[in-house]
Amino acid sequence: MNEAQLSIKFSLFLQEQLGYPKESLLLELPVTRPDGARMHVDLAVLDLNSSEYIGLIEFKSSLTENNLLSALKQVKVYQQAMGLIDVPTYLVTNGVDDSFEIYVLEDYGPWIPIATSTFPSYKTLSARKKAKDKANQNKEEENKYKRKQYLSLWTLSSAVLGILVSVFSVVYLGSADFLL
């Protein structure tokens, strides 16, 4: 089965078996690279509620070392061009007996094989994005709190330093005229 046939078959699998809405699956999504050249993502998954991309899928009809490297380079360009460095990214190839072989890209490393049964459902992929967004929001709030603590510490330190200078002046200079 060629890549076009494979992408259609996998899209049907996602819809029928894993609950992906047809409208969330964008085949051959055009992408412009930083150098202005146009490419096409084989399949992008769109969260219909947030209108954000929640997954990228590359298809290869056969699995060779060259195809693995080619797919890795391609998806890195897609991720960079789309600003989706941390979006889940998958490689799908023809498997034995009309099945799929699926690989996931983890932390810019090599492709890691996963079982077809463990491919995330639409709800899971969408929830993963929401969880990451919530974690980022919590981290930003934590950073704000730390900045406030730091500012409070500086303010307190400045006040203590001012009091110490005043005490030093009174004790060692013997006069409090500067306070009047």
Q: Which residue has the higher pLDDT, 25 or 137?
A: 25
3 state DSSP class of 30: strand
The reported pLDDT for the residue numbered 176 is 54
For the stretch 117-173, pLDDT in tens is: 999 999 998 887 655 665 566 566 676 766 777 777 777 777 788 788 777 776 766
Partnered with residue 38 across adjacent β-strands are 32
Give the SS3 label for residue 112.
Answer: strand
Residue matched to tokens 């929001």: 137
Residues 32-47, mean pLDDT to the nearest whole number: 91
- Report if pTM > 0.85: no
Domains and CATH numbers, the chain: 3-120 (3.90.1570), 141-179 (no CATH)
Cα 160 to chain centroid, rounded: 45
- pLDDT score at 175: 56
Please name the amino acid found at residue 10: F
| pLDDT at residue 149, as a whole number | 74
CA distance 11 to 163: 71
